[in-house]
Structure 1
Amino acid sequence: MAWISRRSTRAFAGAGAALVLGGAALWSVSSATARSGLEVLVGSAPFECVDPEAVTTNDLQLGSDDGVAVTLPALSVTRNLDCRFTFIVHNTSNVDVKVKSVDIQLAGPGNGTGVQIGTLEFNGNTFRALDNQEADARFEINDSLPAGEAARVTAMVGSMPGCLGAGGSQSMVNSPSLRISALGLGGDVSPRGPVYSLMGTAESSCEN
């Protein structure tokens, strides 16, 4: 039987460990690349309401008074909101990406704006928001989006007790937020920057 020195054994072990670490690093990079390929797209007109006057815009000032203003789609908060909020999830990567959950800011049972999102449709399936009494509405999805495909997501927007002062506004940043996984590793993805606003009305005023 051939004799192998202890030094050679250590060298073989070290090479094996390096291969394992290298493979793990490559897997992590591949997962991160796939996750970065999932886009959450909110268009310029994401709201559709039974009362068309509930759909409006908000000129949001960025920075100081002489900064840049951006016009965001907005929803006027009234007592009888009946609206749809639609956005797109697009998987531009070359592997399937699993959407684990969707969070929508200040639309959960514990928020105080007067707006609530209770159901959501994703890939033809309807999901109910978790009854977690948190400010954000969370939906457990656990559905895969194949490589190169897009899904239209529709959330049903209604009213709940709350208050948002007349003339005031609340702008959502990086919402909706998705918890996702690709190649077994997880992360979060959302639109960048301000996305849409809620606008206070006489009906949503804290005085009522």
Structure 2
Amino acid sequence: MIRDLPVDLRPRERMIYAGAGALSTAELLAIILRMGGRGENVIRMAERLLSQFGGLAGLAQASHDELCQVHGIGEAKATQIKAALELGRRLLATAPYERPQVRSPADVANLLMLEMSLLEQEHLRAVLLDTRNVVIRVINVYTGNLNTAVVRVGEVFREAIRANCASIIVVHNHPSGDPTPSPEDVRVTEQLVEAGRLLDIDVLDHLVIGRNRYVSLKERGLGFR
């Protein structure tokens, strides 16, 4: 347990007098875990977890079952970890931001990658832009596997029409971490681009977000003619 550590090594006490920013990632994780295992203090357990999953980003992508398979991590600890990471993800999703101007695919990736790269399901989002390519808002259109059978084009453009936007950029994530566009991604893009032409709302790009990487279908010439 944390109280079994020397006082100057107890992360909870250090957080109280030094602040959360003074703690390492392993120490913050140790506070969430609360207890170590047989022959292993809680900080060692936290360090082992981070090492096994390749850091905080890898830990965030681990499923509940994958966490439970780790020695010393049962249902309770796995649930505590997932709950804490989900709170962080939701904070990122709801944090206010200045309305940026989009000049390149990288601008959109910088806006959404950190939060979307942690999602465990595919999410399709649309970035609504005004005539100067300034972001009006970002909307979540669909959650689930992206394919032409389930993505309704009208859902993508409904909010765009209401917002009177000039153009949109479509973004979705690959939970696998590999942002390589699939043939279905290209087909969805073709449908959206064609619908945008009919509605006089330009589809400027479609980004696929993976783990710390993204692909612009427009830059690769996929789905845009």
Report the TM-score when normalising by structure 2. Answer: 0.29
Q: Which has the higher strand share?
A: 1
Larger Rg: 1
Give the number of the structure whose residues are more often helix, by fraction.
Answer: 2
Higher RCO (CA < 8 A, seq sep 6+): 1
